[in-house]
């Protein structure tokens, strides 16, 4: 391991809590190509147990690798929302890309502010019961909420982090 990597790991280790760094890069709002807007609805909070996703919540997951490892599950609540029909595929793609952009910007900000490198994977559909697995994890569990606004309709989104700092190697 070179000196720079050790320096980065130590810098990361100096943070009292992963919550501190993540909460400082949460964005209040984001314009998605003038076709959708994300507005922070619930700031990042620490949590220990998450309620199971409902059948109306559309899940998408991302992996994070680097100085911070883990998974992020996003859930869009479609209860009483009309997202069927020909526009459904477009809307779902818009939702997934909106989450990708939001999380990508947060991970970028982590590097700019703290020199923490955390790379985001491409989105995938989570396995059945993934959120239940989150609840069993010993990693930090954090959650925040956004409103995704598209065509004057607001959709609630839960974004749940299961993350940990990379293990520090003693040298």
Partner 1 sequence: MDAETNSFNFLIVDDSDFSRSSISKMLNDSRFNIVGEASNAKEAIDILKERSVDLAIVDVVMPDVSGIELADYITENFDHIAIIMISSLGQESIVIDSISAGASDYIQKPFKKEDLLTSVEKILSSREEV
Binding interface with partner 1 (CB under 8 A): 30-33, 35, 89-90, 93-94, 96-97, 100-105, 107-108, 111, 117, 119-122, 124
As measured in angstroms, the least distance from the Cβ of 170 to partner 1 is 25
As measured in angstroms, the least distance from the Cβ of 94 to partner 1 is 4
54/121 with CB nearer partner 1: 121
CA-nearest of 43, 8, 11, 10 to 27 is 43
4/169 with CB nearer partner 1: 4
Helix (H) or strand (E) holding 150: strand 140-150
Tokens for 124?
Answer: 């995938």
Conformation bin of residue 151: beta by default, left when phi > 0, alpha when psi is -120 to 50:
left
As measured in angstroms, the least distance from the Cβ of 81 to partner 1 is 17
4/171 with CB nearer partner 1: 4
Half-sphere exposure of 119 (CA within 13 A, CB side): 4
């Amino acid at each position: 391991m070179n000196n720079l990597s050790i320096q980065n790991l130590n810098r990361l280790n100096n943070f009292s809590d992963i919550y501190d760094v993540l909460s400082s890069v949460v964005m209040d709002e984001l314009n998605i190509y003038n076709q959708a807007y994300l507005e922070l609805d619930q700031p990042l909070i620490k949590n220990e147990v998450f309620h199971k996703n409902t059948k109306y919540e559309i899940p998408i997951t991302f992996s994070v690798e680097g100085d911070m490892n883990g998974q992020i599950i996003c859930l869009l609540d479609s209860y009483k929302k009309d997202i069927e029909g020909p526009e459904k595929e477009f809307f779902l793609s818009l939702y997934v890309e909106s989450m990708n952009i939001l999380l990508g910007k947060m991970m970028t900000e982590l590097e700019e502010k703290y020199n923490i490198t955390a790379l985001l994977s491409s989105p995938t559909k989570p396995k059945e019961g993934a959120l239940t697995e989150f609840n069993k994890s010993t990693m930090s569990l954090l959650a925040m909420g956004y409103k995704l606004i598209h065509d004057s309709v607001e959709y609630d989104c839960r974004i749940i982090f299961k993350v940990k700092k990379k293990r520090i190697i003693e040298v």
